[in-house]
A = this chain, B = another copy of it.
Amino acid sequence: MTERFFLGLDFGGTKLAVGLVDGADGQVLARAQQPTPPAGADASIDAVVAMAQRVWLAADVEPGRVAGAGISFGGPVDAAHGVVLLSHHAPGWEHMPLTRVLGERLGLPTCLDNDANVQALGEARCGAGRGARVVLYLTVSTGIGGGIVVDGRIYRGAHGLAGEIGHTIVQPNGPVCTCGKRGCLESVAAGPAIARAAARALVEAPGQGAILRELLTRDREAEERANRGEEGRGEERHGEYLQAVAERPEKGVALRQRAAAGEPLTAALVFEAARAGDALANRVVDEAIGWLAIGIANAVNVVDPDIVVLGGGVSRAGERLFSPLRAAIAGMCAPADPAAVRLEPAALGDDVGIVGAASLFG
């Protein structure tokens, strides 16, 4: 059989990405990306079409061997009809027949799914889940999305809503989630939830979290230097900062106020402080991992996957996340052999959207 290639088109809330992907093995021959234009749907579509044309040229593949364009959309879609329902990030997407529009612009067959399903498919076919029959995928970043792939195909459920693990309830009467319910996994374990919990802890415990406070200061100062046109972060001497935070309580106050506003704190910073030995950050991280374990274990007990693949920004925290998370999940799952529940980080990195989208034709 002649080798076939597919365009993978990834419409994210902050980033648009396009790649030309080898249908046989998911290798990306050429890629392009840019920030999502704030103007809305038409500007994003124009940008993606232009990137697709550049990528196609760059990959130097004959037109006839590109067999289709798969589309990942960061928001609710009607996959069966190839229609975007709406975007939570930009105007103009309501009921957009995106497969038809892009099919006409690119002259290719097209198909579409939401980003979590597409990422799940990409990881199942070409990433960490390769070879597994049932893959449960979670992306933990600003939200928590999920997807289920069975025998190489996305399991969509009755209404295209399967895999909504982020909105399973793990803490009854917990914090209010973006969806309006209380105690959803997303409300206690996504990136912003970890940052909020750390900010609250810093405010409530003025004497604690020295390393986290220091990282925050370093971050802010690096940003200020960058704004002044100086060099970026560079290496800071931790001891000095600890000293400064300890000696200048007024600095602590400002930090606590900024932390309370939630702005400068990120989950990545909290994990960094935890790895550096900050007790407060470690408590916050451990609590989020506890919730994540319940949410994942509950889904595992329903879906019984061969492997759980964890992607998204928070999953980049590495072993400080994965090691305790594996242990906690093993204690909450049915299989007699805890090794039966594998938990692995996503393997495709930033390419997951374009590889997954290209896989929609497989």
Contact = CB atoms under 8 A, between A and B. Distances in A.
Given A157-B305, A161-B304, A340-B159, A334 B167 contact: yes
Which of A297, A298, A306, A332 is most buried by chain B, counting CB atoms within 10 A of its CB?
A: A298
A287 to B, nearest CB: 11
Interface string A295-322: 0011101111110000000000000000
A40 interface: no
Interface residues on A, range: 35 or more
A169 interface: yes
Nearest to A165: B302
A170 B170 CA distance: 6
A205 B181 CA distance: 32
A335 to B, nearest CB: 6
A33 interface: no
Nearest to A134: B158
Interface in A154-202: 155-165, 167-172, 179, 181
A232 interface: no
B158 A298 contact: no
Given A161-B304, A168-B297, 20 more contacts: A132-B158, A134-B158, A150-B155, A157-B304, A158-B304, A158-B306, A159-B304, A162-B302, A163-B302, A163-B304, A164-B301, A164-B304, A165-B301, A167-B301, A169-B170, A169-B298, A169-B332, A179-B334, A181-B332, A302-B302
30 contacts: A132-B158, A134-B157, A157-B303, A157-B305, A158-B305, A158-B306, A159-B304, A161-B301, A161-B304, A162-B303, A163-B302, A164-B301, A164-B304, A164-B334, A165-B302, A168-B298, A168-B302, A169-B170, A169-B294, A169-B297, A169-B298, A170-B172, A172-B290, A179-B334, A181-B331, A298-B298, A299-B302, A302-B302, A302-B303, A303-B303
Interface of A: 132-134, 146, 148, 150, 155-165, 167-172, 179, 181, 290, 294, 297-299, 301-306, 331-332, 334-335, 340
